[in-house]
Amino acid sequence: MERLPKRHLQSPTNALEVRNPTACPAGVFRLKKGGLVLRPTTYKLKYKRRQGLQRTYDITVTVVQYESGVFRYQSWVHFAREFKGNGLVYPLSARTPELAAAEARARIEGHIETLAGLKE
């Protein structure tokens, strides 16, 4: 199996691999566990916690849309270059890429506030 370039390694399952590179059209990737993934999009943002230690966290969020139309996200939260966690990850209820990105951002910000799936 061939690994995808580093920019595509950010996936909901952290197991993004191409089974047959010639069988996948451009912009479509196969996951080791699951179906076809269309349009993976990565966002980088900062978020300052309002309670407890009021730190500013660096967040990387990747939102992907599956062939079925369902969106999912994976996040990586860092503070001072130290990995703090991924938060809790569930499928998104949004039906458009813009709404999915906004929903993923709101969820991870809530997880940072409550430290759900993160260590401080």
- Tens of pLDDT along 12-62? 333 333 333 334 444 444 444 556 667 789 999 999 999 999 999 999 999
Beta-strand ranges (E) seen in 35-70 are: 36-48, 56-66
User: Which H or E element spans position 113?
Assistant: helix 97-114
More confident residue, 113 or 29: 113
Mean pLDDT of 85-94: 90
Per-residue confidence (pLDDT) for residue 72, from 0 to 100: 92
Per-residue confidence (pLDDT) for residue 50, from 0 to 100: 94
Residue found under tokens 């499928």: 91
Cβ atoms of residues 61 and 72 within 8 Å: no
The whole-angstrom separation of Cα 62 and Cα 25 is: 20
Q: Where are the domains of the chain?
A: 2-114
User: pLDDT exceeding 90 applies to what percent of the chain?
Assistant: 54
Per-residue confidence (pLDDT) for residue 34, from 0 to 100: 55
- Strand, coil or helix: what is 73? strand
Residue 118 has pLDDT above 80, yes or no: yes
Residue 79 has pLDDT above 70, yes or no: yes
Query: For the ranges 11-25, 28-42, 75-89, 104-118, which has the lowest average pLDDT?
Result: 11-25
Residue 87 has pLDDT above 50, yes or no: yes
